[in-house]
């Protein structure tokens, strides 16, 4: 794919390969690592606007940023336009240059509350949310799906509404809510969305290697790609897509990630929370299964580093 900057409202992002928001994963440490490996823009995981307005500390900590993030992008969710605008205007979101609104999350907890992908079936409310958030003065983007039901794609019409309401970019996950995270990506609907609007369109879904990214751009004509699970298993995917030279050292990445998190969280919390991330890095690694079992019971980051060192050394990684 051709690498080029993306203009999002008044913000120019230097490249067109982004890291998607991933709940439980895209904290400041992982974002900093992906940026260093070639991602041009990284989003926080989705944060609840209501949670912010109730000053919930567990919500606020998700918005911790790193100095390395020269352009900061947060993702928010909710269904009340005034609360969402207030969140955009709050001190919590003041460090962020870009606010992405989640209109794609499929989980029942949000969907049944009229949030996330439920908004794709409620265009008037979605429009009001976007226009209120835009009034805060923030650059607003929207992440959506092809629709709620696979047989009824509406992303193109929805994106047109987003543009009219003042959104500066949309990201289309090429699956419907009914498909959650599996199944084929609907390239045709992503392409239809790209052709329906003048704002930049990022394509998302099923990008696990450089060839997937090339194929996505070839089939959709989008302005860039947004990588999600592909980065959890292999954050070096950003070097691979953007042609940046790199040393593929998972052990080094894991240690860096742990050390960066130490500025925010207690050691035991990091050890527990990093288990799922470490398990992703171990996918397909010889001895990985046994290492995963050991990880499940480790309660300190030193223990975790030791388990990782053993298994990645056995794989003859240069650690
Ligand atoms: C564990 C997990 C957490 C996710 N969290 C979010 C989120 O917070 N906000 C969001 O918009 N999408 C979220 N997504 C969706 C991804 O951003 C992405 O749209 C989806 O995984 C499809 O891309 P992929 O096929 O490259 O993984 C999440 C997906 C997964 C698997």
> Looking at residue 27, which CATH number applies to its domain?
3.20.20.70
Q: Are both 136 and 73 inside the same structural domain?
A: yes
Given ligand 1 and candidates 106, 228, 235, which is best to mutate, with the most ligand atoms within 8 Å of its CB?
228
Which DSSP category does 209 fall into? S
Residue 118 lies inside a defined structural domain of this protein: yes
pTM for the complete prediction? 0.96
Count other Cβ atoms within 10 Å, centred on residue 246. 14
Q: Are both 58 and 88 inside the same structural domain?
A: yes
Residue 274 lies inside a defined structural domain of this protein: yes
- Say how many Å lie between the CA of residue 173 and the centre of ligand 1: 9
- Say how many Å lie between the CA of residue 318 and the centre of ligand 1: 31
Q: Are 133 and 125 in contact, with CB atoms under 8 Å apart?
A: no
* Rounded to 5°, angle at Cα 57 from 56 and 59: 70
Q: Are both 48 and 83 inside the same structural domain?
A: yes
Domain C-terminal end among 189, 211, 242: 242
Q: Are both 235 and 281 inside the same structural domain?
A: no
Would you state the pLDDT for residue 318?
Answer: 44
Please give the sequence-ordered ranges of beta strands (E in DSSP) within the chain, or none if there are none. Answer: 6-8, 11-13, 17-19, 41-48, 73-77, 98-103, 139-147, 169-176, 201-204, 224-227
pLDDT in tens, the chain (319 residues): 999 999 999 999 999 999 999 999 999 999 999 999 999 999 999 999 999 999 988 898 999 999 999 999 999 999 999 999 999 999 999 999 999 999 999 999 999 999 999 999 999 999 999 999 999 999 999 999 999 999 999 999 999 999 999 999 999 999 999 999 999 999 999 999 999 999 999 999 999 999 999 999 999 999 999 999 999 999 999 999 999 998 999 999 999 999 999 999 999 999 999 999 999 999 988 889 999 999 989 999 999 999 999 998 765 544 4
Domain C-terminal end among 217, 242, 267: 242
Count of structural domains, the chain? 2
Minimal-distance CA residue to ligand 1 atom 6: 22
Query: How do beta strands 6-8 and 11-13 pair?
Result: antiparallel
Which residue, chain included where needed, has tokens 């390395």?
Answer: 68
Q: Which residues are known catalytic residues?
A: 105
Residue 171 lies inside a defined structural domain of this protein: yes
- The token duo for 263 is 């500025």
Would you state the pLDDT for residue 300?
Answer: 96
Atom of ligand 1 nearest to the CA of 232: 27
Would you state the pLDDT for residue 313?
Answer: 76
Would you state the pLDDT for residue 259?
Answer: 97
Domain range enclosing 269: 250-314
User: d(Cα 245, Cα 236) in Å, to the nearest integer?
Assistant: 10
* Rounded to 5°, angle at Cα 254 from 307 and 37: 155
Count other Cβ atoms within 10 Å, centred on residue 130. 25
- Say how many Å lie between the CA of residue 138 and the centre of ligand 1: 23
Residue 319 lies inside a defined structural domain of this protein: no
Ligand 1: does its nearest atom lie under 6 Å from the Cβ of 216? no
Q: Residue length, the chain?
A: 319
Q: Are both 180 and 293 inside the same structural domain?
A: no
308 Cβ contact list (under 8 Å, min separation 6): 250, 251, 254, 255, 278, 281, 291
Q: Are both 265 and 203 inside the same structural domain?
A: no
Ligand 1: does its nearest atom lie under 6 Å from the Cβ of 74? no
Given ligand 1 and candidates 17, 18, 19, 23, which is best to mutate, with the most ligand atoms within 8 Å of its CB?
23
Q: Are 114 and 148 in contact, with CB atoms under 8 Å apart?
A: no
């Amino acid at each position: 794919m051709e690498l080029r900057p993306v203009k999002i409202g008044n913000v120019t992002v230097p490249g067109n390969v982004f890291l998607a928001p991933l709940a439980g994963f895209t904290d400041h440490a992982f974002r900093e690592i992906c940026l260093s490996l070639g991602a041009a823009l990284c989003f926080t995981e989705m944060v609840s606007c209501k949670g912010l307005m109730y000053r919930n500390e567990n919500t606020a900590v998700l918005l911790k940023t790193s100095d390395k993030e020269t352009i900061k992008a947060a993702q928010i969710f909710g269904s009340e336009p005034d609360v969402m605008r207030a969140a955009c205007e709050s001190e919590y979101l003041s460090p962020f240059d870009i606010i992405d609104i989640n209109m794609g999350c499929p989980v029942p907890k949000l969907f049944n509350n009229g949030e996330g992908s439920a908004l794709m079936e409620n265009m008037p409310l979605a429009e009001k949310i976007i226009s209120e958030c835009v009034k805060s003065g923030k650059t607003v983007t929207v992440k959506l799906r092809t629709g709620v039901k696979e047989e009824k794609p509406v992303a193109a019409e929805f994106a047109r509404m987003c543009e009219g309401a003042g959104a500066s970019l949309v990201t289309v996950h090429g699956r419907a809510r009914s498909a959650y995270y599996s199944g084929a990506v609907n390239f045709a609907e992503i392409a239809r969305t790209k052709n329906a609007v003048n704002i930049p369109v990022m394509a998302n879904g099923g990008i696990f290697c450089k060839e997937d990214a090339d194929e996505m751009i070839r089939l959709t004509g989008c302005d860039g790609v947004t990588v999600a699970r592909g980065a959890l298993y292999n954050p070096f995917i950003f070097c691979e897509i953007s042609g940046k030279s790199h040393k593929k050292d998972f052990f080094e990445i894991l240690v860096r990630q742990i050390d960066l998190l130490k500025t925010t969280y207690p050691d035991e919390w990091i050890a527990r929370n990093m288990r799922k991330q470490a398990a992703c890095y171990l996918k397909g690694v010889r001895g990985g299964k046994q290492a995963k079992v050991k990880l499940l019971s480790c309660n300190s980051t030193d223990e975790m580093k030791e388990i990782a060192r053993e298994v990645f050394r056995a794989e003859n990684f240069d650690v």
